[in-house]
Structure 1
Amino acid sequence: MLFTSDNWGGVHPEVMEAMTSADGGFAPAYGADTASQGVRALFSEVFERDVAVAFVPTGSAANGVALSMLTAPYGGVICHEHAHVLIDECGAPEFYTGGAKVIPAGGAFGKMTVETIEAAMLPYDPPMAHRVSPSVLSLTQATEWGTVYSPDEISTLNDATRRYGMGLHMDGARFAGAVRASGASPAELTWKAGVDILSFGATKNGCMLAEAVVLFDPSREEEMVARCKRAGLGMSKQRFLAAQWQAYFADDLWLSLAETSARQCRAVANIFTDHPECEVLVEPQINELFVRMPGSVAEKLRGAGAEFYDWVQPGDQYGGEARRFVTSWETTDEQVQALSDALG
């Protein structure tokens, strides 16, 4: 009964097979191989335009490189107060950008609004020499609460922040889930809504070390390559990263895996919906579920072998009783039933 994180899951057999097939013999290094070149074309196809892509091994690296493309060291990054770039990356955004300040903004269940962004901007508008100059808005899609921004919501936030001269970054660690849940195309969720650069994650959805920085202005590709190399992210055997993306996109495997994860999450939500001591805090849109439950229920579940995280965030409104349950493409019906039996 493992519901801690989709990061704990394994690698999908088709992805592993693609990596194995890429092994054997010699191939040009540092992205000059045919697999890497071909996958770049696949990204352009997925996003319906020419894009530049950098393959990196972790989501924190992807976010750091992406943000460094949009802000100077004396700049600032506006993000949600629960965002991964603020809470869970050990200062990596500040490191990669050379010191840019990460500035929190509020919003219910992980989603910023025009009003909360403008409130966060109050100390910085008009600009003054004594303070950083926010130059990028970072959205998490899907959010840390498993909610999803629609294309219209993204476009509205983009319009509101462009007047400050800010660029738009999207942290898409669970981007496949957002595409599936929204019914929008990858293009509609990104550059068509104003996104400048995307951190595209696949590791949580059946891959191994598969994260990509997708730059929607390919004229800046040379700068992105240099930033990756300077950060120690020049991957010599890049063919093995590229091979994962080949399998991931083939026959829409990425969306199929996201649907499986989300379906199991809905099944878990049904377990808690009618329980008198539990409250589903927000209807799950992807593969993350947030439930308020007393410590006695949490202890009962853990005593029966269930693993999940307590979810205590800045400004916690739930008295430390919010819990997070995450499903994956490997979550089985038997695991869901076992959780139901443990809850009683």
Structure 2
Amino acid sequence: MSRSQQFLSDNAAAVHPRVWNAMRAADEADAPYDGDALSQALDARFGELFGRECAVLWTATGTSANCLALATLCPPHGGVVCHREAHIEMDEAGAPGFYLHGAKLMLAEGAKDSGGAKLTPDAIRAVIDPIRDDVHQVQPHAISVTQASEYGRSYRPAELEAIGALAQERGLGLHVDGARFGNAVAFLGCSPAEAVGPAQALSFGFVKNGGMGAEAIVFFDPALADVARYRRKRAGHLQSKGRYLAAQVLAMLEGDLWLDNARAANAAAAEIAGACGERLMHAVEANEVFVRCTAVEREALRAQGFGFYDWGEDAARFVTAWNSDSQAASALARAIAAL
């Protein structure tokens, strides 16, 4: 399998050259931890991006970003409502329970018609309405949505506003897992502020989008960041040379590189999706393509050199990245059409 035909994951993509250059430029002595000039610049830079006051912490992984953010919104005796196929439930090895000291994930089904692992207000109510308001049952304290979702579906601003209105009505915090936030913004064509809605915390993903090893936890309530700083240290995620993480994040924001990268990945996914016809399992609204195909068909694609993950018995997932080769994407599209 050639590297150009790699559609396993955007986590496997190369680091963008501008990120490497920014890390090299940061290779000067400065204050340790997050006291350096680059780390100190994050709040203002994200404030410009979202048009409101932000407090921003870097961390190295998406799992730590999600869990540290949620730990500020939910106490150990509480619960976080999420979709039953959310990344925090399916792919983080119990990390939310670990970081939140035992808090419970409260699983919702999401929309039955459109699917795509997206939550709706009705799905959230179905989880929280039956809970008695007494000490014998876990009480919800937060909602977590994924933008774009685990099946590559993007929440429209109105959908986020509706969930946010419910959260405010019930006194719940709202967290957005934005591992592919750039892809959602690129698809929606809206502002970053509209794509995050009335959330209190956002895990802003960069690693999947051309970064090397840095994510941002963006708090729209700065007081939450004061708590998260202690939690980050206690969890072992306060790196002593934090300027290298901040350099990556700032490089991705410079000139909207994060958005250009996401647009490139989305375009490659759209080309592949255009050849799938009725095989397409979910509308492609980011950089993931879920395709119905048998085991024999999947082996036929692998025999042509394409790399991807099986997704259940009769499906496959193809993920494009900022540097996906256009010829390889076209070749994959032709191969799927010819099955």
TM-score interval, smaller chain = over 0.9
Moved more, 179-188 or 253-262: 179-188
Name the CA distance, whole Å, in 2 between partners of 1:127 and 1:99.
19
Amino acid aligned to 1:119: A
Whether the 8 Å contact between 2:13 and 2:321 is mirrored in structure 1 is yes
Alpha-carbon distance between aligned partners in 2 of 1:185 and 1:337, rounded to the nearest angstrom:
30
Instruction: Call closer, same or farther: CA 1:296–1:67 in 2, change over 3 Å.
Output: same
Aligned residue number for residue 112 of structure 1: 119
Secondary structure, in 3 states, of the residue corresponding to 1:104? strand
Cα pair 1:300 1:342 within 8 Å, conserved: no
> Residue 168 of structure 2 aligns with which residue?
162
Shift of 1:88: 0.2
Q: Distance in 2 between matches of 1:248 and 1:220?
A: 24
**What amino acid is aligned across from residue 152 of structure 2 in structure 1?**
G
1:305-320 paired onto structure 2 within 5 Å = 305-312=305-312, 320=313
- Looking at structure 2, the residues matched to 139 and 283 of structure 1 have their Cα atoms a distance apart, in angstroms, of 18
2:53 is aligned, of 39, 50, 63, to 50
User: 2: CA distance between counterparts of 1:75 and 1:228?
Assistant: 20
Q: Tell me which residue corresponds to 1:339.
A: 332
Give runs of aligned pairs for residues 1-344 of structure 1, distance below 5 A: 1-23=5-27, 25-107=28-110, 108-124=115-131, 126-190=132-196, 193-273=197-277, 279-312=279-312, 320-343=313-336, 344=338
Q: In the alignment, is the contact (CA less than 8 A) between 2:271 and 2:330 conserved in 1?
A: no
Q: One-letter code of the match for 2:328? A: Q
**How many angstroms apart in 2 are the aligned matches of 1:131 and 1:334?**
55
3-state DSSP of counterpart to 1:161: helix
**Which amino acid in 2 is paired with 1:210?**
A
Summarize deviations over 1:291-312 as a string: whole Å, max 9, x none.
1112221111112221111223
| Superposition deviation, residue 271 in structure 1 | 2.5
CA contact (8 A) 1:142 1:177 kept: yes
Deviates more, 1:67-76 or 1:241-250: 241-250
Instruction: Check the 8 A contact 2:275/2:334 in 1, yes or no.
Output: no
Amino acid at match of 2:202: L
Consecutive unaligned residues of structure 1, counting only runs of 5 or more, are 313-319
5+ long unaligned stretches in structure 2: none
Cα distance per residue 1:151-173 (max 9 Å; x no partner) = 11011012123333211000000
Tell me the number of residue pairs that the alignment of Structure 1 and Structure 2 aligns.
Answer: 329
Distance 1:166 1:63 in 2: 16
Contact 2:33 2:239 in 1 (8 A): yes
Give 1:19 deviation, angstroms.
0.6
1:263-307 deviation line (CA, Å, top 9, x unaligned): 00011112322xxxx611122111111111122211111122211
Distance 1:170 1:139 in 2: 5
Distance in structure 2 (CA, Å) of the matches to 1:100 and 1:12: 37
Deviation at 1:341, TM superposition (A): 4.9
SS, match of residue 271 in structure 1: coil
| Residue 219 of structure 1: how far off its partner (Å) | 2.7
Aligned-residue offset at 1:143: 0.3
Q: 1:149 Cα deviation (Å)?
A: 0.6
Q: 1:264 to 1:49 in 2, by over 3 A?
A: same
- Encode CA deviations 1:196-243: one digit per residue, 9 max, x unaligned: 111111000000111111111113332111111111111110110111
Give the root-mean-square deviation of aligned CA atoms. 1.4
Task: Give the distance between the partners of 1:112 and 1:16, measured in 2 at CA.
Answer: 37
Counterpart code for 2:223: S
Letter of the 2:126 partner, please give it. Answer: A
| CA distance in 1 between partners of 2:90 and 2:247 (Å) | 31
